[in-house]
Structure 1
């Protein structure tokens, strides 16, 4: 029973089956989704930790791998992330009371002057699905907002995104301000116009071409 429910939840997240009403994917139409199965799993005595690690994190890892291999694309990935988020809503009370541990906190935001959020949101959902607590600052995030949040979470790595070549230059002063108040804070940057070379030139610690690369970088920090 336990393994069956965890396998069902894994499949719901992998294929983006959010709840019973969701028509996607077609082959799972009319079937319970991540919402209902997570509730059933908790009621049957499966621990939140097992749900997180054996179903959600494992499924999102597979989704990220499929995306890297170009077997799925952004729309499918977003549906998987939404299914994972619905399941996570049931687990949040357990995070709050400490019965389920997160790997750490990740601060995320789109740089000031830039209002694009689809890529940022996708990264945030994927990283949350990998077991991190994501503090999403939103879009058009000013330097002081990043700095104040780093002061609040001094051990948290920071992710900064930009989608425009006209706004990606704004990332450098943000990194400089962060490093001034917290030299040990590590910063990863991403977005369509960016590159590893540009990231290095502005003082970033890493460049994430896609969410999966960002997760791998965070995992390397977590293990170190």
Structure 2
């Protein structure tokens, strides 16, 4: 549909006002919130993701598009909550203790929310105990940990160990990501998966939870 392409293009160009206008117009035309998200907002963000991977654009441009997408999500979220569409799963996410970076984590949270997951964002500098508390209180399907510094990567292992000690390890899937993190490191520390960017995180979670 033409309007969904227009929404995708508005996300790509980072035009928040246009995204808002087009999303409202699409709803009036009877297009479902799910279609607007999948074929409009996320379709635009996936183009941005590909460009980012190829180093054609950088984090500032990604953020501008992500904020435009978020503008559309703000309108659609209450409607999705009202519809019978079941939330795919619940995800606790946070940047590990000692690390104050949140751009990557925020992008991952936005993408996963857009893909139909409920997000509990613990923020930055999150100690292992806070992850444990969030697991006990929210009973999530997935815990996502982010680190942008090589010096804070070790906190991922510490956090997984504490989750294990509390007897909660078999209750959640644990995924990790961030600039210095690798697939090998994720395996070494006993994580269930690694995503190199916000776009792969959606595929990873869908695969781990066996949802489409």
User: TM-score, with normalisation over the residues of structure 2?
Assistant: 0.87
- RMSD over aligned Cα atoms: 2.0
Report how many aligned residue pairs link the two structures. Answer: 209
CA distance in 2, matches of 1:184, 1:201: 20
CA distance in 2, matches of 1:49, 1:4: 16
* 1:54-83: CA deviation from partner (whole Å, max 9, x where unpaired): 212222223222322333322221111111
The reply to whether residue 115 of structure 1 matches residue 100 of structure 2 is: yes
Q: 1:181 aligns to what?
A: 168
Q: 1:81 touches 1:129 (CA, 8 Å); kept in 2?
A: no
Q: 2:134 aligns with which of 143, 149, 157?
A: 149
Report SS of the residue matched to 1:140: coil
Q: 1:201 aligns to what?
A: 188
Report SS of the residue matched to 1:159: strand
Shift in Å at residue 10 of structure 1? 1.4
Q: 2:96 touches 2:125 (CA, 8 Å); kept in 1?
A: yes
Q: 2:94 touches 2:105 (CA, 8 Å); kept in 1?
A: yes
CA separation of 1:212/1:193 partners in 2, compared to 1, >3 Å: closer, same or farther?
same
**Counterpart mapping for 1:52-63 below 5 A:** 52-63=37-48
Q: 1:6 aligns to what?
A: 4
Q: 2:208 aligns to what?
A: 221
Q: 1:29 aligns to what?
A: none
CA distance in 2, matches of 1:67, 1:216: 17
CA separation of 1:134/1:198 partners in 2, compared to 1, >3 Å: closer, same or farther?
same
**Counterpart mapping for 1:22-41 below 5 A:** 33-41=18-26
Report SS of the residue matched to 1:223: coil
Q: 2:118 aligns to what?
A: 133
CA separation of 1:65/1:104 partners in 2, compared to 1, >3 Å: closer, same or farther?
farther
Report SS of the residue matched to 1:188: strand
Report SS of the residue matched to 1:214: helix
User: TM-score, with normalisation over the residues of structure 1?
Assistant: 0.83
Runs of 4 or more off by more than 6 Å in structure 1?
none
**Any stretches of 5+ residues in structure 1 without a counterpart?**
20-32
Q: 2:34 touches 2:80 (CA, 8 Å); kept in 1?
A: no
Report SS of the residue matched to 1:183: helix
